[in-house]
Amino acid sequence: MTIYLIMLFQSLLASGTHIVAKATVTGVEPVTLTLLRSTIAGLILLGLAFLRKSPLRVDREDRNRFLLLSALGVPLNQFLFMTGLNASRPTNAALFYGATPALVLLLSVLMKKEEPSGLRLTGVVMTETG
């Protein structure tokens, strides 16, 4: 029963994200909001890293890739999301957010990394219909 409550909470939280973000971006510039969110998240993660019993290690050959992905993963994604939301409506953002699995499946099929299957297509339909 607990897992269903957690899933319900996550769905409610995710469904309200676009509305809250639109309300926020009308008063705060997307660049400022992205910098603020990334800084707070980084400080929280840094604090959690210090609390670990064993230190986090990134191999020397992976450091540049790690830095690149850390810049693209959240800050650039959130900046583009907030900028787009500033110029659009929350409904449009929610539709694009729901379309992510479809776009990932399409790209993976085009790159010949995945084969489309009934289960994958069902998952894509479920993300758009809720």
From first to last of its 130 residues, what are the pLDDT tens digits of the chain? 788 898 888 888 887 888 888 888 888 899 999 899 889 988 998 899 888 888 778 899 999 998 888 888 778 888 988 998 889 888 888 888 878 888 888 899 999 888 888 888 888 888 777 6
- 23's tokens: 């309300």
What per-residue confidence (pLDDT) applies to 125? 84
What per-residue confidence (pLDDT) applies to 130? 65
- 36's tokens: 């603020």
What per-residue confidence (pLDDT) applies to 110? 92
String of b and e for 3-24 (b: at least 16 CB within 10 Å)?
A: eeeeeeeeeeeeeeebeebbee
d(CA 32, CA 64): 26
Q: Are 94 and 15 in contact (CB under 8 A)?
A: yes
User: Which residue type is seen at 1?
Assistant: M
